Amino acid sequence: MLQHIESTELRNHLRKSYRDVREMTMKLVQPLETEDYVIQSHPDVSPPKWHMAHTTWFFETFILKDYRENYVSFHEEFEYLFNSYYESVGSFFPRHSRGLLSRPGVEKVKQYRSDIDSEISLLIEELDEKKLREIANLIEIGLHHEQQHQELLMTDVKYNFSINPLKPIYLELETTTKDVAPPLEWARFEGGLFEIGIDEGERFSFDNERPVHKVWLNPFELATRTVTNGEFLAFIEDGGYERAEFWLSDGWATVKNQQWKAPLHWEERNGEWYTFTLHGFVPLNKEDPVTHVSYYEAEAYASWAGKRLPTEAEWEVAVRDQPISGNFVEDGIYHPVASIKDDEGQIKKAYGDVWEWTKSPYMAYPGNKPLDGALGEYNAKFMSSQMVLRGGSCVTSASHIRPTYRNFFGPDKRWQFTGIRLAGDQT
Ligand SMILES: [Fe+2]
């Protein structure tokens, strides 16, 4: 898409979008105290400081080192320290040990960000048009990459805080509202031959969303909103976590091994349910969308409810004409809420609030080609043993999400804002 923009407009666009996304990261870490930046309470979680540095490393490694003449690295060890998983760039510091690094300190990481920002800004102003167009796509990828890490940063902070008996509050905000969830209705869709996915160039997309390809769908129905806490509570009260008949075999083994009795961050005290949020430890609002459930829990709930999860193709066909409206990170709530916006369309909460598990394994689309070079490692090598999620969450940027967007996590993961939308076959 950027290839069609005139060069002055392109420079303006890159300057603004770069500044907006980089500033959002700094806004999100602003409530943290220095010690909060450093800890890693679980191997899946990374310290906020690491997210801040790694997103910066991405711009330094994939743009500055190739396009800035006589570029001298900010720190020669950072290439190793803040590489996440790019084998073709070199070796990397073990993921599970990121929380062991007291240095570089927070101030040094902020200086790293600021220095790289200055260098990227100079490139945007000074490169000739040909090279500017070459780096435009790389900057876009870097910004979407940073938005993904902003989301991880928020769920990682939440997890870090959740294990602390002091139950720290990220942001004081009253979330208990009188809003009620919209009624649960079923939207019906004809079957037939459809196209899903996107081709390169229409607008920004990751390589895993490409290309446009045909899918066959049988007639199906899709719930007009996601499952609420109250509805999930009925599953728990019906013995959902003690009845193997609802669970996939691997899911049941995980329930037993992990001793799951409720979604992550839920806790029962004196017969009342509470949940840990970024606003602290609060009574569970039964009208809010259920979140922090794994694929296994989503599957088990659907089985108990006599329904199923949608496939990602069903989800995309049903939702792609809905407005991208919902509860996103820009709303500053950082928690899924019952209320809906006026312009959400027929399928409520299609975007924002919670990522929706689909029953589709994360695989390459027919005809898919990963990016050339090191960035080919961005998505393609993770296409095994993970499930696709759609729609974005309350910590996703509105500018990051689109109908073809494919998120993916292992079926046992539940520290992201993940939820459930039911589907069914039309009879
Ligand atoms: Fe990354």
Distance 212 CA to ligand 1 centre (A): 26
pLDDT at 289: 98
CATH class held by domain 186-425: alpha beta
Kindly give the residue spans of alpha helices, DSSP state H, lying in 60-208: 65-67, 78-81, 106-126, 129-162
Distance 85 CA to ligand 1 centre (A): 8
Residue boundaries of the structural domains of the chain: 2-162, 186-425
CATH topology for 2-162 is: Four Helix Bundle (Hemerythrin (Met), subunit A) (1.20.120)
Using pLDDT thresholds of 50, 70 and 90, give the confidence band for residue 364. very high
Distance 422 CA to ligand 1 centre (A): 31
Angstrom distance (rounded) from CA 243 to CA 256 = 11
- Indicate left, alpha or beta for 313 from its phi (over 0: left) and psi (-120 to 50: alpha): alpha
Over residues 198-255, the pLDDT tens digits come to 999 878 999 999 999 999 999 999 999 999 999 999 999 999 999 999 999 999 999 9
Angstrom distance (rounded) from CA 267 to CA 274 = 5
Its pTM stands at 0.97
Distance 347 CA to ligand 1 centre (A): 31
Under DSSP, the state recorded for 152 is: H
Angstrom distance (rounded) from CA 273 to CA 286 = 10
Distance 88 CA to ligand 1 centre (A): 14
3-state SS, residue 220: strand
Distance 159 CA to ligand 1 centre (A): 19
| H or E segment and range at residue 215 | strand 213-217
3-state SS, residue 50: helix
- State the amino acid at position 31 in one-letter form: P
- State the amino acid at position 77 in one-letter form: E
Distance 152 CA to ligand 1 centre (A): 10
Distance 58 CA to ligand 1 centre (A): 8
Q: Do domains 2-162 and 186-425 have the same CATH topology?
A: no
Ion ligand 1 contact residues with beta carbon within 5 A: 84
pLDDT at 176: 58
Model confidence at 6: pLDDT above 70: yes
Please state the φ and ψ torsions of residue 81, each to the nearest 5 degrees. -65, -40
Over residues 153-212, the pLDDT tens digits come to 999 999 999 999 999 999 998 765 678 999 999 999 999 999 999 999 878 999 999 999
Over residues 346-358, the pLDDT tens digits come to 999 999 999 999 9
Please state the φ and ψ torsions of residue 228, each to the nearest 5 degrees. -95, 165
Contacts of 227 (CB under 8 A, 6+ apart): 289, 290, 301, 419, 420, 421, 422
CB 387 within 8 A of CB 181: no
- State the amino acid at position 209 in one-letter form: E
Over residues 95-125, the pLDDT tens digits come to 999 999 999 999 999 999 999 999 999 999 9
pLDDT at 224: 97
pLDDT at 5: 85
